[in-house]
Amino acid sequence: MTRLALLAALVALVAVAPADAAISARIAAKPSPAVVGAKTTLSVRVTTGAAQTVPKVLYLKLVSPAGAALRVRLTRGGGSLWRTSFVFLNKGNWRLRVVAGAGGSPKPGSVLGASRLVVR
């Protein structure tokens, strides 16, 4: 095979590869900022690339300012929206991560998105 034919085959292979194969999640809280002792609705909007599918199960991993971690299962609200409710018992900067569960393209345990939330 000549160099030109090899280069043409390589260009054709790259051209059919999906351009956007990523999956990501955006986290929002209502009310924002969250208030200690009040119910807070946490919603997650998931966007996928051409080669990805949304997992059947998503979790929200919450890490308190003291470092204690817990996992809350998200429920699908339709389309790409997932939700859960949570009552924060400590004020400060909480870390939130969306974690893939079973099913879909990303491996279970994969972090799809992360955010910080100020609780007052």
Residue by residue, DSSP assigns 27-95 as EEEESSSB-TTSEEEEEEEEEE-TT----S-EEEEEE-TTS-EEEEE-EEEETTEEEEEEE--S-EEEE
Between CA 86 and CA 111 the distance in angstroms is: 20
Single-letter code of the amino acid located at 48: T
Residue 101 pLDDT greater than 50, yes or no: yes
The whole-number average pLDDT for the span 101-112 is 74
More confident residue, 51 or 79: 79
The whole-number average pLDDT for the span 36-42 is 95
What the chain holds in terms of domains, given with CATH numbers, is 20-119 (2.60.40.1930)
Under 8 Å CB-to-CB from 52, ≥6 apart: which residues?
21, 22, 23, 104, 105, 106
Separation in Å, CA 56 to CA 20, 100, 101, 102: 21, 8, 7, 6
pLDDT at 19: 35
pLDDT at 108: 75
The whole-number average pLDDT for the span 72-94 is 92
The DSSP call for residue 114 is E
The whole-number average pLDDT for the span 67-72 is 94
pLDDT in tens, 13-33: 333 333 334 778 899 999 988
Q: Which of 52, 54, 32 is nearest to 42 (CA)?
A: 32
The whole-number average pLDDT for the span 74-87 is 91
Q: What is the end-to-end Cα distance of the chain in Å, rounded? A: 67
